[in-house]
Structures are given as structure tokens and as C-alpha cells.
């Protein structure tokens, strides 16, 4: 009910009468009044004028299910949203839900994570109200060997959404860090449960630093936020929506061929170190060369002084 009223108030430029709300949702005036009060308590500024009705004046920067559903324009992502004030890790929670039967496109989102997970066993700082900590459940019928490319699809979607929203370039550092002014603004952690030839589920975790004004000492030289970069506060629910819209678009292109052939050019245009000298931190033998973009399988092409190498795992700096 709150979600429906909020959606209608959002869509209406002006006032929506109490009568209209009652008729549209088949509820009493008292029920409408109660829902409006709950919205006000959650931080929505709603003007009520006699003989005119209700008008939405401003919205708070919260990630409740009602808020997220009322801005949702995606086709299948977010039909089910699991919101938590605090959670250990949205990836852990998403895996549990996927095992319990949550459908493809469900996502988990939290205001705070107290055990946020990064790649390679690292932690991920996820303070309350400062960012977007969310994980999407996918159940694709694809070869498990192709699943790692979904991380690059996600990086492209986040890069596009942030660039469009802020008007500032948010590039990709291969394979999946999102970078602004040389620092990381978003990390992505994809995990999979699969049989030899069958994907049970994939969870795609995305952590975007949005409102942070500072970071813990150990990461302050490498981390940034949208606020630090632009001195503006962005409405997180709107960015969530933009990320999922972009993801739906790119993911459907990926599914057509089960590779990145339809996305290579766009991915490369967002690559921060395209045509630049990079260090490949290969655990066996680190080497340097010029990054030349990705292959349709998502490998990074690196030209060294002696040969062309394809990097499929690891990190570059």
C-alpha cells in the first residue's frame, strides 16, 4: 500500500486527491491517511492541502523496499527485493535465499553490512547509509565456464550508470573495479554454486561508495566516493535503479552469445588503462605490458615487448 501510494505520488506532477487514492486502491480514507503518515515518519515530505490532496515534496535517501519498488522500471530485476537494515553480507544472504528458491532477479540490499566481503578473502567496508551494498541472484542456463564474464558485464553496467548519473567518467579497471580519479569507487564480488555442467545460482555483489566523506586509514589512499569526487549527494535508490536497468540491457546481450562479443567495444571504451602500461600481478610471474582491451571471453590483452599475452585471472595495477 505504501509502495503503491508512493509510486502514484512520484508519477503525479501536482496533487493526488484522497478520494482518488481510496478508489484506486480500494481502501478507506483512514487507511490512506495511515499510509501517508508512515511515509512521513520514514522521512518523505508530503504536503496535504484541503480540497486538493497530497503532493510529494521531497524524498529521503533511504533504501527501503517501498522506496526501491516505487522507482523500479526494470523488467525482471527486483520483482522481489529483500531489504535489511543490517546484514552480515548481502552476498551470504543472497546465497541463502537462492538455495531456498528465490527466483532469478531477486536482489538483497542493506543499509549496512557488518561482515562485508571483498575479493580474495578481504573485507569490504560498508558503513550505514553511506553506500549501496547489494547482491543480485541469477539462475541462468549457461555453461558454468562462462559465468565469470558476468562480472565484466556488471562492471560495464555500474560504470555506465555512475557516468550517466554524475556526468563524470567512472572507468573500469580490468576486470571489475570501478575507478574515479584513479581511486576505487565500487567493487564487485561474483560467486557461483554449480555442478560440473549446470549453474545452480550466481550471486553478483556490488558495493558502491556514495555519500562517504572519508575512509579508514588503511584504504584512504585507494578508495573514493561519489561525494568526494563531485561534492554532491546522490539519491541512492535512483542509482540502484540505473545500475539494474543497465545490467538488464548488457546481460541480455551477453546471454545471446554467452560471451562478450557484443560488448567488447563498449567495455573497452570504459577501460581506464586502455593503451597504457600495466603491471600484471600474475602470482607465478608478474610482467608488464600495454593493455589492448579485452577478448570476447573477457581476457585482458597485454602486449609485452616480446609477445601478446591473454590474462584471464588475477589483477593489474
Which residues lie near ligand BTN (CB under 6 A)? 89-91, 113, 116-119, 122, 124, 126, 133-135, 177, 187-189, 205-207
Q: Name the residue among 174, 177, 191, 189 with its Cα closest to residue 219.
A: 177
Distance CA 169, CA 65 (A): 29
Kindly tell me which of 90 and 130 has the beta carbon lying closer to ligand BTN: 90
Query: At closest approach, how far in Å is the CB of 48 from ligand BTN?
Result: 38
The alpha carbon of residue 244 and the mean position of all alpha carbons in its chain are separated, in whole angstroms, by: 7
Angle of CA points 219, 132, 94, to nearest 5°: 105
Sheet holding 277-280, edge to edge: 277-280, 287-294, 300-303, 308-311
Percent helix, strand, coil in the chain, to 5, is: 35, 30, 40
Q: Which residue is nearest to ligand BTN (CB)?
A: 187
Q: Is the Cβ of residue 56 or residue 108 nearer to ligand BTN in the bound state?
A: 108
Cβ-in-10-Å burial (0-12, 13-18, 19+) of 58 comes to exposed
Angle (CA) 58 64 67, round 5°: 45
Pick 105 or 116: Cβ nearer ligand BTN: 116
Nearest distance in Å: CB 148, ligand BTN:
14
Task: Report in angstroms how near the CB of residue 190 gets to ligand BTN at its nearest.
Answer: 9
Closer by beta carbon to ligand BTN, 229 or else 258:
229
Q: How far is the CB of 87 from ligand BTN (least distance, A)?
A: 8
Query: Is the Cβ of residue 208 or residue 280 nearer to ligand BTN in the bound state?
Result: 208
Closer residue to ligand BTN (CB): 74 or 135: 135
DSSP 100: T
Q: How far is the CB of 232 from ligand BTN (least distance, A)?
A: 22
177 vs 245 by CB, closer to ligand BTN: 177
At its nearest, how many Å lie between ligand BTN and the CB of residue 3? 23
Which residues, including other chains, have CB under 8 Å from residue 306's CB and lie 6 or more apart?
Answer: none
Report whether 155 contacts 173 (CB < 8 A): no
DSSP 3-46: HHHHHHHHH-SS-B-HHHHHHHHT--HHHHHHHHHHHHHTT-EE
Minimum distance from CB of 174 to ligand BTN (Å)? 13
Closest CA to 203 of 90, 113, 82, 110: 90
Amino acid at each position: 500500500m505504501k509502495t503503491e501510494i508512493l509510486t502514484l505520488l512520484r508519477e503525479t506532477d501536482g496533487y493526488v486527491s484522497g478520494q482518488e487514492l481510496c478508489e484506486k486502491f480500494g481502501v478507506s480514507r483512514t487507511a490512506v491517511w495511515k499510509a501517508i503518515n508512515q511515509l512521513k515518519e520514514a522521512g518523505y515530505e508530503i504536503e496535504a492541502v484541503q480540497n486538493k490532496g497530497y503532493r510529494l515534496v521531497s524524498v529521503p535517501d533511504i533504501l527501503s523496499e517501498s522506496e526501491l519498488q516505487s522507482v523500479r522500471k526494470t523488467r525482471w530485476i527486483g520483482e522481489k527485493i529483500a531489504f535489511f537494515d543490517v546484514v552480515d553480507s548481502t552476498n551470504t544472504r543472497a546465497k541463502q535465499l537462492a538455495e531456498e528458491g528465490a527466483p532469478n532477479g531477486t536482489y538483497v540490499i542493506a543499509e549496512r553490512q557488518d561482515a562485508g566481503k571483498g575479493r580474495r578473502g578481504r573485507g569490504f567496508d560498508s558503513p550505514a547509509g553511506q553506500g549501496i551494498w547489494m547482491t543480485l541472484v541469477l539462475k541462468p542456463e549457461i555453461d558454468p565456464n562462462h559465468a565469470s564474464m558476468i562480472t565484466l558485464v556488471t562492471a560495464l553496467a555500474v560504470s555506465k550508470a555512475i557516468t550517466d548519473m554524475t556526468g563524470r567518467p567512472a572507468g573500469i579497471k580490468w576486470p571489475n573495479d570501478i575507478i574515479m580519479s584513479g581511486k576505487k569507487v565500487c567493487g564487485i564480488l561474483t560467486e557461483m554454486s554449480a555442478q560440473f555442467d549446470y549453474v545452480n545460482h550466481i550471486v553478483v555483489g556490488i558495493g558502491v561508495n556514495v555519500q562517504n566523506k572519508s575512509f579508514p586509514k588503511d584504504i584512504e589512499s585507494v578508495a573514493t566516493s561519489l561525494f568526494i569526487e563531485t561534492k554532491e549527494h546522490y539519491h541512492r535508490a535512483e542509482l540502484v535503479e540505473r545500475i539494474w536497468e543497465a545490467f538488464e540491457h548488457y546481460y541480455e546481450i551477453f546471454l545471446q552469445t554467452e560471451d562478450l562479443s557484443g560488448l567488447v567495444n563498449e567495455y573497452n571504451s570504459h577501460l581506464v588503462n586502455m593503451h597504457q602500461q600495466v603491471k600484471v600481478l600474475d602470482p607465478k610471474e608478474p610482467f608488464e605490458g600495454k593493455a589492448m582491451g579485452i577478448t570476447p571471453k573477457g581476457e585482458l590483452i597485454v602486449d609485452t615487448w616480446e609477445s601478446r599475452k591473454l590474462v584471464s585471472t588475477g589483477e593489474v595495477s
